[in-house]
Structure 1
Amino acid sequence: MPSTGKAFAVLATAQFLVVLNTSIVNVALPSIRAGLGLTDTGLSWVVNGYGLAFGALLLLGGQLTDALGARRVLVAGLAAFAVGSLAAGLAWTAPVLVTARAVQGVGAALLAPAALALVLRHHPTRLGAWGAVSGVGGAAGALLGGLLAGTLGWQAIFLITVPVATAALAAARALVPRDTPTGGRLDVTGALLVTGGLVALTAGLTASAPVPPLVAGAILLAAFVVRRRGQPLLRTLGATARANAAMAVLGAVWVGLFYFLPLYQQQVLGYPPLVAGLAQLPLAGATALGSALAPRLPRAALPIALAALAAGTAWFATGPVFPFDVLGPPVLAGAGLGVAFVHLTVDATRVPATDAGVAGGLVNTSRQVGGAIGLAALVASTTGFAAAFTATAALAAVAAVLTIEGAAR
């Protein structure tokens, strides 16, 4: 077997790319808007193109990992990621950029479950380091997004991914051991139904004539539920419905906060992109610290953490000024976010061992899809940053209420 340390480094790099490309865009959004002349709705699709494809296809990515082998799916995901990143960096219109972001999301939906499966199989003692990669990727995305957008232009935030993904692909072929497919049935039709339904719902929230796409989305998702009736996915969803609903709402808060905050800092506070990137570090650092401390806290801390997240987000709506108010809200919100994410993940995966894989895919899908639909709803229903932060705080409060039952566990 090739060097386990080098093989793990390849898998960690793949995960780093997934998280990096979730956060690197946020600080560059004003530059992208100016470069391509995007509306508020169009700008939200730069984020949602990635998040929707990623979330909607995660379950299919897990199925492909079982059916075709984790290494093969990992390599395919890295290839798609590199192609999507190159296309995004060369995009000359908004539709091209959103399509390229969707291709990146497809790549992420393939490589994320494949990389995790390989880590669990070959490197189970390095799960702590695996989790740390996500925190580093989020912080690095904020910093790189500000640095590159402020110096080389917004295209650089995508182009920088191309050589990294290409090198990871080559290293995966050389260093990651081949594995034997474990079998499993692919549900391509189901994947198409859920993807089409989620895209239609998200588009309907921001459309001038919302009813047709919303109805179409509901029909497609209902067809998916009927198709999966009696299967492990719906059985697991029934057992963890409350936790997954709270995770979807938390996803909306997460994406909304990281979307509106850099825009607010650049458009209202007048921060240049690099300073706005640096200004994300208290939020990212507090989130990482909250995640690290969460396993030591009882389940009863979950609604309290979500209440802290709501309070910190509402604090932003008051128009913070440097230094205390700018440092206070992100530390409060970030700590609550980190603790809530870990405990909700535990809640949503508290299922029999036979359903653990399905539960893991489902909770990640809930977060990604909740983030995409929540952002579309926030952009469509709010005017001004104070209203956006207030609405985001209200969503955090809803998540807190959803988790109060069973807090004594």
Structure 2
Amino acid sequence: MRHIVGAQGRGGPPVRGSGLGSVAPGAALAALAGAQFVVVLSTSVVNVALPQLRDSVALSDSGMAWVVNAYGLAFGALLLLGGRVADLVGARRVLVAGLGLFAAASVAAGLAGAPWVLIGARTAQGVGAAAAAPAALALVVRVFPPGGARARALGVWGAVSGAGGAAGVLLGGLLTEVFGWPWIFHVCALGAALALVATFRLVPADAGGPRGDVGGSHVDVFGALSVTAAIVALVYGLTAARTYGWADPPVLGSLLAAGLLLLMFLRIERCHPAPLLPPGLLTQGPVAPANLLMALLGAVWVGLFFFLPLLQQQVLGAGPLAAGLAQLPLAAANMLGAGLAPRLARLLAPHRTLAVGLIAQAAGLLWLALLSAPGTTLAGLSGPTVLIGLGLGIAFVQLTGAAVNGVRPADAGAAGGLVNTTRQLGGAVGLALLGTLATAFTGAAADGPAALAHGYRAAFLLAAAIAATAAALTPLLSRRATPTTSGAPTRASNGNATEGVHR
């Protein structure tokens, strides 16, 4: 991590003027990135093992989706609360608590022998991740001041996030085939424990302490409950529509309840002294359009890592280990894209760099859809997955930077929670829609691998359309001025992804 410190000197000297005391930036970033790696790893590590989980734990087809969605829902629904609590009581404390819960839930998932136990443990994993992820990102924002240092730090953050998603598929295949599916969860528990130790040793106790300007010390419990219930109702309705149809009364009732609960949440936020969404957060810099685009990126991201392993195993006949190894080109491309993103932003401007990343994803997904047929080799998928990986890395870094750029220090946790929420919520809703479409196209075809390929092809085509739509919306970022930490707008001084956006 030494290169991240830049001109501050060899060995990672302290960052001054951040309100965090003496912090070794490279060491702190290593610990925080480790926590992020474990959180993202758990999102995808189960995907390759889904066929084995289905047989061992007696999961139904909808149960397989809920193994993924239970984590994503708890994670996405509680991220706003996790980020706000980090602002109120201290980001380091919340990170430690989240990693501890995550480790315990991972052990429980590895010992599960029934569907409800497994899905419950995955839900608890998501709760722990919802505390850890925004707290870790808030600490990164506070340790690294705006400028090149933060841009490089977020480049590392994006590379680690992309590597976690792809490594989850690789490790999932390796562990499932060699040791059995329980080890995919035991490894997550070990990773969380290591990240917990690193946090104690490398992140000072005063880092990310409670802020004195967050508008009170009361946690917005009713706001958290209402937005959590709204998200669960929304995704349940979308998922149930896959099985029962859109006209089914429980489906319609769930979607209606989601809308009413969301209105209730917005009303609570206007009245609470310390709301989950601080007043004016969405008007600070490009926060609002960045979160909109992050939701679309999340739909593409989660859909890809759900359907790609199924295509490799159920259509192309690969085993778990071979499917995991086939993710290596995607992982390498993702890390390369994340590393290139800050440099490209200085050359092209951030919003144009983002558009390039999203267009690359759309092209790769379209290419992948054309190859989704029996008889295609795993090696034949390398071209489109490399293109998708490059685009994912670039887009993730740009959107993360835009979503936390220019926010007040007191709102860093809330901003981190919001951008993670929109990514997870977009992923959960996207997976429900992509799964519904895939099921409809599979049911219209004959049985067997050809029918599955027909459904997966439809899902990849829709994902490509979502990425292309996001690319078309990137000019929204260029129209938002970047405020200073005091809230006054200022023009971006350079092309760094985290310093602002060009007009």
After TM superposition, the structure 1 = structure 2 runs for residues 47-62 of structure 1, keeping only pairs within 5 Å, are: 47-62=68-83
After TM superposition, the structure 1 = structure 2 runs for residues 91-170 of structure 1, keeping only pairs within 5 Å, are: 91-121=112-142, 127=153, 129-169=156-196
TM-score by length of structure 2 reads: 0.74
1:287 matched residue in structure 2:
334
In structure 1, runs of 5+ residues without a counterpart are none
- Cα gap change, 1:247/1:2 in structure 2, threshold over 3 Å: closer, same or farther? closer
CA displacement 1:33-74 (0-9 Å, x = unmatched): 222333332212111111121122122112222322233222
C-alpha displacement of 1:6: 6.5
Counterpart code for 1:105 = G
- Cα gap change, 1:311/1:8 in structure 2, threshold over 3 Å: closer, same or farther? closer
Separation in 1, partners of 2:118, 2:85: 27
Aligned with 1:301 (options 338, 353, 356): 353
1:81 matched residue in structure 2:
102
Separation in 2, partners of 1:244, 1:166: 31
- Cα gap change, 1:92/1:344 in structure 2, threshold over 3 Å: closer, same or farther? same
Separation in 1, partners of 2:28, 2:85: 21
Q: Percent identity?
A: 56
Separation in 2, partners of 1:211, 1:365: 24
The 8 Å contact of residues 142 and 281 in structure 1, kept in 2 or not, is answered as no
> Does structure 1 residue 40 correspond to structure 2 residue 61?
yes
2:221 matched residue in structure 1:
188
C-alpha displacement of 1:194: 0.8
- Cα gap change, 1:356/1:86 in structure 2, threshold over 3 Å: closer, same or farther? closer
Deviates more, 1:296-305 or 1:219-228: 296-305
2:3 matched residue in structure 1:
none
Deviates more, 1:238-247 or 1:380-389: 238-247
Q: Which has the higher helix share?
A: 1
User: What secondary structure sits across from 1:57 in the alignment?
Assistant: helix
Aligned with 1:371 (options 410, 413, 427): 427
C-alpha displacement of 1:236: 2.9
2:460 matched residue in structure 1:
389
Counterpart code for 2:190 = P
> Does structure 1 residue 401 correspond to structure 2 residue 463?
no
The 8 Å contact of residues 41 and 379 in structure 1, kept in 2 or not, is answered as no
In structure 2, runs of 5+ residues without a counterpart are 1-20, 245-249, 440-454, 479-501
- Cα gap change, 1:338/1:172 in structure 2, threshold over 3 Å: closer, same or farther? closer
Counterpart code for 1:143 = L
Separation in 1, partners of 2:359, 2:422: 20
CA RMSD of aligned residues (A): 2.7
CA displacement 1:303-325 (0-9 Å, x = unmatched): 23322211211212123533764
- Cα gap change, 1:146/1:205 in structure 2, threshold over 3 Å: closer, same or farther? same
The 8 Å contact of residues 294 and 339 in structure 1, kept in 2 or not, is answered as yes
Deviates more, 1:84-93 or 1:320-329: 320-329
- Cα gap change, 1:163/1:406 in structure 2, threshold over 3 Å: closer, same or farther? closer
Counterpart code for 1:204 = G
CA displacement 1:277-301 (0-9 Å, x = unmatched): 0111112221221121122222223
C-alpha displacement of 1:234: 6.0
CA displacement 1:157-189 (0-9 Å, x = unmatched): 002223343454455456643234325431111
2:255 matched residue in structure 1:
214
C-alpha displacement of 1:105: 0.9
Counterpart code for 2:258 = G
Counterpart code for 2:325 = L
Separation in 2, partners of 1:176, 1:263: 39
- Cα gap change, 1:9/1:316 in structure 2, threshold over 3 Å: closer, same or farther? closer
Deviates more, 1:12-21 or 1:242-251: 12-21
CA displacement 1:17-38 (0-9 Å, x = unmatched): 1122122122222222222333
Separation in 1, partners of 2:366, 2:335: 21
C-alpha displacement of 1:83: 1.6
- Cα gap change, 1:325/1:163 in structure 2, threshold over 3 Å: closer, same or farther? closer
* Count of residue correspondences: 409
- Cα gap change, 1:348/1:114 in structure 2, threshold over 3 Å: closer, same or farther? closer
The 8 Å contact of residues 159 and 393 in structure 2, kept in 1 or not, is answered as no
The 8 Å contact of residues 41 and 380 in structure 1, kept in 2 or not, is answered as no
C-alpha displacement of 1:259: 0.6
- Cα gap change, 1:334/1:3 in structure 2, threshold over 3 Å: closer, same or farther? closer
After TM superposition, the structure 1 = structure 2 runs for residues 313-328 of structure 1, keeping only pairs within 5 Å, are: 313-319=365-371, 321-322=376-377, 325-328=380-383
User: What secondary structure sits across from 1:26 in the alignment?
Assistant: coil
- Cα gap change, 1:119/1:235 in structure 2, threshold over 3 Å: closer, same or farther? closer
Deviates more, 1:199-208 or 1:317-326: 317-326
The 8 Å contact of residues 351 and 359 in structure 1, kept in 2 or not, is answered as no
C-alpha displacement of 1:10: 4.1
Deviates more, 1:310-319 or 1:255-264: 310-319
> Does structure 1 residue 31 correspond to structure 2 residue 29?
no
- Cα gap change, 1:345/1:69 in structure 2, threshold over 3 Å: closer, same or farther? closer
Deviates more, 1:369-378 or 1:222-231: 222-231
Aligned with 2:234 (options 195, 198, 201): 201
